[in-house]
Amino acid sequence: MDKKYTLKTHYKKFEQPSGTFLFCVLTAKQIISISEAKERKFDVQTEEYIGGVERKQNQNRIGEIAEYAKTPDAMFPTPIILALEENTYDFLETDNIGLLIDHDSLKAEIIDGQHRIAGIKLAIESTKNQSVRNTLENIDLPVLLVLGLTIRERALIFSIINGKQQQVPKSVVYDLFGLYEGKCPEKFAHDVVLALNISEKSPWNRKLKMLGYKTPGSKESLSQGTFVKELLILIKKGKGVLRDYYERDDVNSIASFLARLFSGLRNCWQKEWENNSTLWTKSVGFTAVMKAIPKLISKNSSDVVKHFEIKDYQDIFSKVKDEIVRQSEKEKKDPLDFLATFQGGSGATKLAKIIEVGIDSYLLSINTQIPAGNL
């Protein structure tokens, strides 16, 4: 062999109906050095498709994976699938050793796993601590190698993998975090949701779909997945106004705060809350309230003040109700019909603005604001 190869690795060959595959383990640094993601694009000039089989990269997802990769419990158990071009690899006849890819040769194309690789790469590049960089570079990742496939065959594999998968409901995922014995935001948020669902004093008592689907005959109206998603934003590192409570692992204070907050809301729409005939018990209304919480809390203050009670929150939502009535009259609609016009994410954002009007009105009337850390 007169080629100079980049790396060598043990491999295990196996057969499936679709062809021959090689399974091996490579470090993140090795994969980054030999692979590339080729985005599938459409050339409007030639009206032809160009590039590879991968979708456009989602930068938000890459950023999330980069942050996750830096956590002590990070794991990446799903194989990265790489397609090797002909003449870029050779095999030794002994010990299942493959000699793979010269730097000057064609790169291996990523068939599945581009966001994981891009996320780990970003984590490496954004980390100044050399020890942490070394750890990230040397993460062992399972790799599935496919050899000498045409672009059509690669596209078929990509389509099968990404088209046939059924995503696990977020509620189930977050529920499983409850079994985790360590500390992480998802487990913390799950514990808060569980506390609200089982407490008889909570307005969410038995109203949360803990596994994402409604129990027959129940009054469940909001999924755990939606609840946890919004709560994670509020305890996010650096920006979350409730982050201090997560750092202290203070589930009880967060659960108590949310119970009082939504009890105040419920008291203003008592009948509708009980029979789930209002959007407040569903995704749009709930999300709107959670989006408005930062308005309620002064992030930088650490002064000790008395907790707001249910009556305080009820007064806030009474002012919200007044604003809803005012705007519904302007549009010549019944208030409940007006509320029903708020749909989806944009509806939640618009409704949050109305809630913020009520918050401003109430805080102005008492000339104070709730400091973070004192819910």
Domain ranges of the chain: 7-164, 170-371
Residue 264 CB neighbours (<10 A): 22
> CB-based contacts of 2: which residues, under 8 Å, 6+ apart?
none
**Rounded Cα distance, 300 and 357, in Å:** 21
Residue 292: predicted pLDDT: 93
**Rounded Cα distance, 317 and 333, in Å:** 20
The pLDDT of 259-279, averaged and rounded, is 91
Residue with the larger pLDDT of the pair 11 and 285: 285
Residue 308: predicted pLDDT: 83
Most confident segment among 7-16, 141-150, 313-322: 313-322
**Rounded Cα distance, 312 and 319, in Å:** 11
**Rounded Cα distance, 148 and 163, in Å:** 23
Lowest model confidence (mean pLDDT) among 79-83, 198-202, 247-251: 79-83
- Is residue 213 scored above 90 in pLDDT? no
Lowest model confidence (mean pLDDT) among 163-172, 212-221, 308-317, 336-345: 163-172
**Rounded Cα distance, 316 and 21, in Å:** 62
- 321: helix, strand or coil: helix
pLDDT tens figures, 292-339: 998 888 633 432 233 688 999 999 999 999 999 999 998 888 888 888
Residue 97: predicted pLDDT: 53
